[in-house]
């Protein structure tokens, strides 16, 4: 992305912004989807990423490619969303306990909410193992094996040394292998 184009985006030029979004939206969406694994959430995250980037455009220094810079914002946006999901999950659990305990007229008692889980059966054991990984290890795995990004780019996006990315990938691989072995597959 050339500097003139970026300058136009900084000035709020709608054509330049449209070009920016069109160029990168598919990649950003796929990255968000791969981390969040929820199409609607990825949609929201994609929007958030572009708005964040437009705000932070003044701070883009050009020492990484624009795409890498955009991806680093996307990873951060997605991580924050994951954190929020976890706290929401906790609330959900507490709520279920709370309503299970609630005492009132029998007819006022509320049923426990039903739990729904849609399983993707393509490689259920592997997916379950991936879900066991924490974000610190899961995100490099996704960036490496789905987005096919070089370790140096992943390091740039996550703001950590390449060696750390490599060691996280190693750790993740070993953990996945151990989990799959436990599962017998």
Partner 1 sequence: MNGITHKQAQRYIRADLDGLLTAAQRLDLETHLRDCEACRLNSESLSTLTVRLQTEFHSRWDRQDGPSKQVMANVQSQSRRIHMQKRIDFAFNILGGAVTLLVLFFVITSVISQFQKKATVSNGTQTNVPASGTKSDDRLIVFTSEQDGNPEIYTMHADGSGLTNITNNPAHDLNPYWSPDGNRIAFESDRNGFMQIFLMNADGSNIAQLTSDEADHLLPLNSDAQSNPWSPHGDTLVFLQHGQAKETWTLHSIKVNGEDNTSLVTGRFSFNDISWSANGKLIGFVLDDPRNTDSNSFVPNVHVIHADGSNLLNVQELLPASDALGSPYNFRWSRDGQSLSLIASNVPISQGGYSFGSEGTPTFYWKVYHVDLESKATTLLTATRTPIGGWWQGSYFIQNFGEPTFTWVSSAGEITTFNPTKDCERIYNENTGGYADGTSSYTQSSNGNMVIGAYCPNGDMTLFLVNSQGTEFIPLLNLPDIAPSNADGSFSWIPANFAWSQDDHFIAFNIFLNNKTEMYVLDVAESIQNPSLQPVQISIGNGELYYPPSWQPIAEEDIAELAPTPEPENTPASTASEGLIVFAAEQEIYTMHVDGSDLTNITNDPAYDGNPTWSPNGQRLAFGSDRNGNFDIFTMNPDGSNVVQLTDNPGYDGNFAWSPNGHKIVYQSSSGDDPNVSQLMVMDAGAGNKILLTESTGSYIFLGWSPNGQKIVYLKQNLETNDPHDTEIHVMDIDGTNHYQWLAIIDEIKWMDDEHFVGHGWSGISEPPSWRLYKFDANGSDPTELTTTPGRIVALFRQTYLVEDLRTFAWYSIEGNTTPLKSQDFNIHCEKPGDRFMQDTNHVLSPDETRAFVTVHCSEGTTWFYFEDSTGAEFKQLSDFILSDPYQFIEANWSRDGKYVIASIASRNGGTTDLYLFDVQKMLNDRTAQPIQVTKTGVWKYGATFQPNQPLSFSLSMTEAESLTGFDILEPSFVPEGFKLAGVAYYPPTQEVVMRYTLREKGILDIYQQPGELPELHQDPAVSQYIQHVPIGDADGEYLEGSWEFDTSDTTTPRWNPNGAISLSWQNDGFAFHIIYIGVETTPPISADALISIAESMK
| Segment 109 to 168, residues that bind partner 1, using CB under 8 A | 110-114, 116, 120, 122-123, 126-127, 130, 141-142, 144-146, 150-151, 156-160, 162, 165-166
For the four alpha carbons of 156, 160, 164 and 165, in that order, the dihedral sign comes to: negative
Residue 8 is a binding residue for partner 1 (CB under 8 A): no
When binding is defined by CB under 8 A, the residue of 1, 23, 29, 134 that contacts partner 1 is 29
Yes or no: say if 155 and 165 are a contact pair by the CB < 8 Å rule: yes
Cα 79 to Cα 75: distance, rounded to the nearest angstrom: 6
In the complex, the smallest distance separating the C-beta of residue 55 from partner 1, rounded to whole angstroms, is 5
Question: Which residues ranging from 51 to 80 are in contact with partner 1 (CB under 8 A)?
Answer: 51-56, 58-59, 61-64, 69, 72-73, 76-77, 80
When binding is defined by CB under 8 A, the residue of 23, 43, 135, 136 that contacts partner 1 is 43
64 contacts: CB under 8 Å, gap ≥ 6: 72, 156
Cα 66 to Cα 24: distance, rounded to the nearest angstrom: 10
């Amino acid at each position: 992305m050339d500097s003139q184009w970026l300058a136009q985006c900084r000035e709020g030029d709608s054509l330049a912004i449209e070009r920016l979004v069109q160029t990168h939206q598919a990649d950003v969406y796929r990255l968000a989807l791969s981390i969040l694994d929820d199409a609607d959430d990825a949609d929201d995250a994609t929007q958030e990423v572009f708005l964040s980037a437009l705000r932070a455009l003044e701070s883009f220094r050009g020492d990484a490619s624009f795409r890498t810079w955009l991806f680093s914002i996307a990873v951060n946006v997605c991580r924050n969303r994951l954190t929020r999901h976890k706290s929401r999950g906790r609330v959900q659990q507490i709520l279920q306990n709370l309503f299970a305990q609630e005492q009132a007229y029998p007819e006022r008692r509320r049923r426990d909410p039903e739990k729904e889980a849609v399983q993707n059966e393509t490689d259920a054991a592997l997916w379950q193992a991936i879900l066991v990984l924490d974000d610190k290890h899961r995100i490099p795995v996704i960036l490496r094996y789905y987005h096919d990004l070089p370790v140096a780019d992943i390091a740039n996006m996550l703001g950590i040394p390449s060696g750390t990315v490599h060691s996280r990938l190693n750790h993740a691989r070993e953990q996945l292998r151990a989990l799959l072995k436990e599962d017998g597959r």
